[in-house]
Amino acid sequence: MTGAVWGVARNDLAVWLRSPAAIAAALLPALGMGVLVAVLTVSVGRQPVALVVQGEGRFAARMARLIRADTDAYLLEEMTAADAERALGDQRVAAIIVVPEDFDAGLARGNAVVDLYLNNVNIDIADDLRRAVTRSVAEFDAPQLGLLGELHGPSKGLLLPNPYRVAVAEHDLRETEVSFLQYQVIPIVVLIVISIGLLGTALLTARDFERGTAKMMVLSPAGRLPLVLGRLLGGTLITIALVAPLVGLGFLTHHIPYCAEESGAPLWVTMLLSGPCGWMLPIPPWRHGLALIALLAAVTLATVGLGTLLGVALRNARLVTMTALNGAAYLFFLGGGFTTVAFLPDWIQMVSRFVPTSYAINGLRQALFYPDLVGFGRDLLVLSACAALSVVLASLMLSRAWRRA
């Protein structure tokens, strides 16, 4: 029996690896999402802003220094008023911050202003800039409202009075911060597992019906159980064969030179390496590593079972491809890919509880980014139950379908 199982699995693996279209079908959408995340990393956070300093007094200079210092918020370029206006019109900057000529005089009167000319094309970008400029301006009268004040002021026992009468004592939950890109790499890993497991197995199963090879398989002396197990093992091997190197690469990219933000590499090198550098997973402690493997194995089995069910149900490669692509996208987004489920309306959060990928993404983030494994048992239990259910159903359905083929 083992020989038959292994034979079918090996054959499926060979067929799949000889099908560039199938590999492309499974990998391209997921990799497309990866590119999307990489581009999003550039888009989020800092906005291009022109700074026009018209005031020549020392307070105007101080205000300008405060704005320049907030490098986390702005991609700042100092310009003349005319150049800044042109840049705003050409969309080279999203806003102009003007420290006006009479800033020092206004300050002496107690009503100095900083002007913000804002391209409020949508509220996301507009609110980002409003928040950032408000903070920079507030820092003038209340230095502790700046980032350093939030992090190292009242929280460290150093409280300076300020005219707004409220200060922030920020306590961060963890030592290191995970970049937006790293945070979003986890759902991409899950999407790749879903795409390959689901689409790979579904295409193999549908192909058997389209080409009539299902009949030949049933006529073989091996019996149906080894064939079914072989198909499931084949799907699992296909997924592991493609996912394991990708996950391994995520740990190896730490060693790529020039990935560090302050590496001093030329811009073109940074851009060229932004993809591989973005594919960077933190190296977890061994217990978390085991948790990672267990979660990936459970998701793989669940998607392989689901893929088999899909192949049996549709028996048509085109339909299988479109259904799997649609299904993978829903599983991805509702599971927390590119979204933080806690941000979504209550009813979507409720739906998300029934989406197995949400447990996979939560569990993987917990294993890689958090110091403990809170909730890991529940995540693994749900995924294992889904895997068991889909494998059992797939075995039954495939066996029945082949009997009738």
Partner 1 sequence: MSVVRLFRASAALELAQLRGNRGFVALTALAAVSFLVMVSLFGLTGSYAPVALIDRDGGPYAQSFVEALLGAHHSFALKYMSADEAEAALLSGRLVGIITIPAGFSADIAQGTTVPIDVRIDNVNVDLTHDVQRALPAAIVAFGRKHKFPGVRVQMVEHDVLPRDTGYIPYLVVSALALDALVIAGVLGAMATAREWERRTVKLLRLSPASAGLVLAGKLVVAAAVAGGALGIAVLAIVLVYGVVPIAPWTTVFALGACVAIFTCLGAWLGALLKRTLAAVPLLFGLAMPFYVDSGALEPTRFDGEAIWMIAHLSPVYYAVGVLEWAFHGLHVTPEPVYVDLLVLLAFAVVAAALTLGRLSKGGGR
Q: Which 225-284 residues touch partner 1, going by CB under 8 A?
A: 267, 271
Q: How far is CA 177 from CA 182, 211, 281, 331, in A?
A: 10, 52, 13, 27
- Is 322 near partner 1 (CB under 8 A)? yes
Q: Closest separation between CB of residue 47 and partner 1, Å?
A: 6
- Is 112 near partner 1 (CB under 8 A)? yes
Among 229, 369, 395, 401, binds partner 1 (CB under 8 A): 369
The two structure tokens encoding residue 111: 């009503």
The two structure tokens encoding residue 139: 């820092």
**Residue owning tokens 């497991």:** 197
**Residue owning tokens 């009813």:** 347
Range 26-55, binding partner 1 (CB under 8 A):
26-29, 31-33, 35-36, 39-40, 42-45, 47-48
Among 18, 219, 261, 342, binds partner 1 (CB under 8 A): 342
Which of the ranges 128-136, 239-247, 257-265, 290-298 carries the binding residues for partner 1, by CB under 8 A? 128-136
- The two beta strands, 47-53 and 74-78, are parallel
The two structure tokens encoding residue 345: 């309306």
- Is 310 near partner 1 (CB under 8 A)? no
Distance between CA atoms of 384 and 390, rounded to whole angstroms? 10
Which one-letter DSSP state was computed for residue 196? I
- Is 359 near partner 1 (CB under 8 A)? no
Q: Give the burial class of 183: count Cβ atoms within 10 A of its Cβ; 0-12 exposed, 13-18 middle, 19 or more buried.
A: middle
- Is 325 near partner 1 (CB under 8 A)? yes
- Is 20 near partner 1 (CB under 8 A)? yes
Q: What are phi and psi of 96, to 5 degrees?
A: -120, 130
Q: Closest separation between CB of residue 6 and partner 1, Å?
A: 28
- The two beta strands, 95-99 and 74-78, are unpaired
Q: Closest separation between CB of residue 226 and partner 1, Å?
A: 29
Helix (H) or strand (E) holding 399: helix 376-404
> CB-wise, 56 or 115, nearer to partner 1?
115
> CB-wise, 181 or 394, nearer to partner 1?
181
Residue type, 66: L
Among 21, 244, 293, 350, binds partner 1 (CB under 8 A): 21
Among 14, 56, 131, 381, binds partner 1 (CB under 8 A): 131
- Is 101 near partner 1 (CB under 8 A)? no
Angular region, 172: left φ>0, alpha ψ -120 to 50, beta rest: beta
- Is 107 near partner 1 (CB under 8 A)? yes
- Is 68 near partner 1 (CB under 8 A)? no
Q: What are phi and psi of 95, to 5 degrees?
A: -160, 160
Size of residue set near partner 1 by CB under 8 A: 126
- Is 343 near partner 1 (CB under 8 A)? yes
- Is 120 near partner 1 (CB under 8 A)? yes
- Is 4 near partner 1 (CB under 8 A)? no
Cα torsion 244, 247, 248, 253 to 10°: value is: 160
Which of the ranges 2-10, 249-257, 321-329, 390-398 carries the binding residues for partner 1, by CB under 8 A? 321-329
- Is 164 near partner 1 (CB under 8 A)? yes
